[in-house]
């Protein structure tokens, strides 16, 4: 058997459920992603069951059993992206790609203070604006501003970061809005 891999057997209801359980045990996921995974596996391996497979119903059962929770996933993913410095637009895009509903995306949309802190985290990590080791010439400043925009930050937030006179001013600006968010 030099290098020949045996084709896995076609799926049946038991094997399909085992695949679903293994997937949710290994990955934080959404119902939509689980369903897409099961559809892909059915396409790759075929079906050997009596009734037609229903990946959507299986994904729904996994959610009812608590193995998949789109809200928990959305909050976890949004928090992770914000800590890495991504803005609200990129967070929304990532959640949309994961199959999170529009209502749920709106519910976990970061507030102004969270968006400011995320932009500040990115600027600090990448040494943008007031965190740069020296003065910025116009082309470098424009590239840094563009990077903040590509990371999903709004133009107003990106400009505030880039216009900050020093790191302390940028931090004060970010924390000022955070206090306003906490007071709501």
pLDDT in tens, the chain (184 residues): 455 577 888 999 999 999 999 999 999 999 999 999 999 999 999 999 889 999 999 999 999 999 999 999 999 999 999 999 999 999 999 999 999 999 999 999 999 999 999 999 999 999 999 999 988 999 999 999 999 999 999 999 999 999 999 999 999 998 886 555 555 4
Own/partner long-range contacts of 97-100 (Cβ < 8 Å, ≥24 apart): 98/29, 98/30, 98/32, 98/33, 98/73, 98/74, 99/30, 99/31, 99/32, 99/33, 99/35, 99/36, 99/70, 100/30, 100/32, 100/70, 100/73, 100/74
- What confidence score (pLDDT) does residue 145 get? 97
Report the distance separating Cα 65 and Cα 67, nearest Å.
6
The reported pLDDT for the residue numbered 1 is 47
pTM of this prediction?
0.85
Sequence-ordered alpha helix ranges (H) in 4-130: 13-26, 31-45, 55-64, 70-83, 88-97, 102-107, 112-126
User: Which uninterrupted H or E stretch holds 159?
Assistant: helix 155-163
Alpha carbon distance 127, 81 (integer Å)? 18
């Amino acid at each position: 058997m030099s290098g020949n891999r045996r084709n896995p057997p076609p799926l049946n209801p038991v094997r399909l459920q085992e695949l679903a359980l293994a997937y949710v045990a290994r990955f934080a996921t959404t119902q939509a992603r689980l369903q897409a995974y099961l559809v892909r596996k059915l396409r790759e391996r075929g079906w050997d069951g009596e009734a037609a497979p229903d990946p959507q119903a299986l994904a729904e059962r996994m959610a009812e059993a608590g193995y998949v929770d789109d809200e928990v996933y959305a909050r976890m993913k949004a928090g992770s992206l914000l800590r890495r410095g991504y803005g609200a637009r990129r967070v929304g895009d990532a959640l949309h790609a994961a199959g999170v509903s529009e209502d749920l995306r709106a519910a976990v949309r970061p507030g102004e203070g969270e968006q400011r802190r995320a932009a500040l985290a990115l600027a600090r990590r990448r040494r943008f604006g007031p965190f740069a080791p020296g003065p910025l010439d116009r082309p470098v400043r424009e590239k840094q501003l563009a990077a903040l925009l590509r990371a999903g930050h709004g133009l107003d937030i990106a400009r505030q970061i880039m216009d900050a006179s020093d790191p302390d001013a940028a931090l004060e600006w970010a924390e000022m809005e955070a206090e306003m968010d906490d007071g709501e």
